[in-house]
Structure 1
Amino acid sequence: MTKSPRLAAVSVLTGALLSVSPMTPSQAGAARPAGGAAGPRASDAAPSDAAPGRMLPDGPTGHVRRAPLPDLDTGRPRPAPVPDLGTTGPAVHPMAASRTDRERLLRWWTPARMRRAHPLDTLIAPAAARRPVPGGRPAGTPASAPSTGAAWTSGGRVTQTTGRVFFTYSGRPASCSGNAVAGANQSTVITAGHCVRLDGAWHTDWVFVPGYHDGQAPYGKWTAARTLTTPQWEAHEDLDYDVGAATVDLLGGRTLTSVVGGQGIAFNQPRHRRMYAFGYPAQAPYDGSRLVYCSGRAKDDTKSHDVGLTCDMTAGSSGGPWFLGFDARTGAGTQNSLNSFKYDADPNEMFGPYFGAAVKALYDKAQNT
């Protein structure tokens, strides 16, 4: 396969190779102080799903070349690529500030409301353009075998570190997926850029629920102190850099990775390696109630410098982690991409951003913010 100039350029990115080893709960150290800005502004007893966050307008109709899962139609033309090595740093947005705000937000995200949350990607696309991605949930797939979309039943660390992300978009409860990674602050979640910011505005009422299962939060609901994204996503919503992060508040005086552990994360890695992708798809034929995975050898996207994997996951899986060196026995691996988008013409292939210098800068910013 002949690489485009943009694909060739990614192989010569400068910057140190960073590989952070997975963290177990027993390895956690000192806790980070919590902080942030306003939480929900609606009554705790609100009878509907009308969320207290800022109202965001839906995007206009029209087709784009590619989009966040499954078929985003926002009418925005594909922007010119932004260089991975720029002078602009990652964007940071403060979230829930006071203990009262955080407690109100945790009460607002009830099990029923989490079950009703719409996959973000179905809220973005006009109804006429929504097309379920073909796929299913093969039964009895061994964890070591290639999968295009099976329920994960082998347990391990991934069932604790991977979870659903809930937030308010356009006044409605919405969902994505995310993953807890090891780091100095012990409080970092990696997700897709469009799962923290979209249409020029940041999502509100943001919480991470690791180990989510059918409305249950076995390891608690973690409110975001800050959400972050790459400068390329903030400026142009460039899907080549569709990566977001959150630093979450303490819960019961403990940090996130002291409770659930943290997966490794690495940057500027070789391509075409075997990878496992995880997420919580919530559009048919899935329902968002359980963790699903795909696995196989990653490939290049010939239209960008992203990476691809054959996968049937649908809307709601956006932001879920892709792992290198994944051990199916322990559920531990090294995150090196995430679920981001599919092409209309190729719905059985999922793509994610290459974790290069821009994503490393985002991760570093999260550790020091």
Structure 2
Amino acid sequence: MSRPATGALIAIGILFASALQTGAADAAPQPAPSSSPSRLASFWTPERMRSATPLDLLPVKPGALSKAAVRSGAEHLVKPTKAAAPAALPGLPGLTGLGGLKGVLPQAGGPWTGGGAHVKTTGRVFFTYQGRQASCSGDAVTSANKSTVLTAGHCVKLKGAWHTNWVFVPGYHDGQAPYGKWAASKTLSTPQWTASEDINYDVGAAVVAPLDGKKLTDVVGGQGLAFNSGYNKQMYAFGFPAAAPYDGSKLIYCSGTTIKDPLLSKDHGLSCNMTGGSSGGPWFTSFNESTGTGLQSSVNSFGYQFLPNTMFGPYFGDDAKNLYTTAQSS
């Protein structure tokens, strides 16, 4: 796909639903790796990570999306988890308890220059798609298995194919993996994305294998989550955009009050100019700027060609909650 000059998100306009029915047979969670975790860590060299390109997605046509998702269910909150000490590198503070919102100053897109727990829990996702090396973003979350990463659905499966060679690199910076490269033993998505790649349910998850005998959230901590928490929220969005004007080397963020998508979906919208590669990065409510902790309430997902510099993320309702429950019990 040719990216518009506005540089709106990777998915700038997403998905002819009729063209994506081929995934219906892939209803079950799929194994992600093509080989062992140690081989995948060696495969994803700094050069391969730097050169990985963001996914191309099909543009949306009005009326192509499925009927707008029904958003209902009781609010459900999951608190963050601390990393087991010692976990922080110099300049990267360890995870602390959930704090209150310090204040959301609108930010349409720019580098995060401070510290906080999220600089460890947020990372880049790398995988092979249609024979090429590609990238997205993701986030380590509190989970029973201490091994769950949330991302976008199209970052685990696209056009009926599950991605391979899938790894999560928390705290990524310019080819460096300060907390290791965590290979997925399983990737999965919502039933709606798995069956027909419905953009209203563009949420994915990965269960990563232990690394050097340790589990993911024991090393980097895990962010909390919020399901069925409503609309018009103050949020921070994070990711590693790799398409111009960004290059994937830095953690970028946007912040502000979300809107309810007035067009084709019932998802969240946020003023943001992040580009390809940021897909799957976390959106936080109740985010504390000082500690870097919050409640993940969505992921970077898509945008409309006719609505530049606005990013949209799926509403975390019961289907996202069920996905999280399945992943953390895997």
User: TM-score per shorter chain, which class?
Assistant: 0.7 to 0.9
Of 170, 173, 186, the residue aligned with 2:146 is: 186
Distance in 1 (alpha carbons) for counterparts of 2:237 and 2:104: 13
| Percent identical | 59
1:159 is matched with: 119
Distance in 2 (alpha carbons) for counterparts of 1:109 and 1:347: 33
Compute the displacement of 1:306 (Å): 0.6
* Contact 1:90–1:228 (CA under 8 A) maintained in structure 2: no
1:260 is matched with: 220
Distance in 2 (alpha carbons) for counterparts of 1:268 and 1:79: 27
List runs of 5+ in structure 2 lacking aligned partners: 3-7, 60-101
1:15 is matched with: none
Equivalent position SS for 2:185: strand
Of 92, 105, 112, the residue aligned with 2:29 is: 92
1:311 is matched with: 272
Distance in 2 (alpha carbons) for counterparts of 1:210 and 1:77: 35
Equivalent position SS for 1:175: strand
* Contact 2:20–2:160 (CA under 8 A) maintained in structure 1: no
Answering whether residue 40 of structure 2 is matched by residue 105 of structure 1, we say: yes
Which gives a bigger RCO, structure 1 or 2 (Cα 8 Å, sep 6+)? 2
Matches within 5 A, 1:285-324: 285-303=245-263, 304-324=265-285
1:71 is matched with: 12
Could you list the per-position Cα deviations for residues 168-219 of structure 1 after superposition, in whole angstroms to 9, with x for gaps in the alignment?
Answer: 0110000000000001111000000000000001000000000000000000
List runs of 5+ in structure 1 lacking aligned partners: 1-58, 62-66, 81-88, 127-141
Partner letter of residue 50 of structure 2?
R
Answering whether residue 131 of structure 2 is matched by residue 171 of structure 1, we say: yes
Compute the displacement of 1:69 (Å): 2.3
2:300 is matched with: 339
Compute the displacement of 1:144 (Å): 5.0
TM-score normalised by L of structure 1 = 0.71
Cα 1:230–1:310 shift into 2, 3 Å? same
2:89 is matched with: none
Distance in 2 (alpha carbons) for counterparts of 1:107 and 1:125: 32
Distance in 1 (alpha carbons) for counterparts of 2:250 and 2:104: 19
Compute the displacement of 1:368 (Å): 1.5
Compute the displacement of 1:90 (Å): 7.2
Could you list the per-position Cα deviations for residues 27-73 of structure 1 after superposition, in whole angstroms to 9, with x for gaps in the alignment?
Answer: xxxxxxxxxxxxxxxxxxxxxxxxxxxxxxxx9x9xxxxx9724367
Cα 1:328–1:90 shift into 2, 3 Å? farther
Equivalent position SS for 1:287: coil
Aligned length: 278
Distance in 1 (alpha carbons) for counterparts of 2:123 and 2:133: 16
Matches within 5 A, 1:27-106: 69-71=10-12, 76-77=17-18, 91-96=28-33, 101-106=36-41
Distance in 1 (alpha carbons) for counterparts of 2:137 and 2:329: 23
Instruction: Provide the alpha-carbon RMSD of the alignment.
Output: 2.4
Compute the displacement of 1:96 (Å): 3.4
1:196 is matched with: 156
Answering whether residue 201 of structure 2 is matched by residue 241 of structure 1, we say: yes
* Contact 1:242–1:353 (CA under 8 A) maintained in structure 2: yes
Answer with 142-151 or 306-315: which moved more: 142-151
Of 179, 204, 217, the residue aligned with 2:177 is: 217
Cα 1:200–1:112 shift into 2, 3 Å? same
TM-score normalised by L of structure 2 = 0.79
Could you list the per-position Cα deviations for residues 295-335 of structure 1 after superposition, in whole angstroms to 9, with x for gaps in the alignment?
Answer: 00011001211110000101110000000000000111000
* Contact 1:189–1:247 (CA under 8 A) maintained in structure 2: yes
* Contact 2:10–2:54 (CA under 8 A) maintained in structure 1: no
Q: Which has the greater radius of gyration?
A: 1
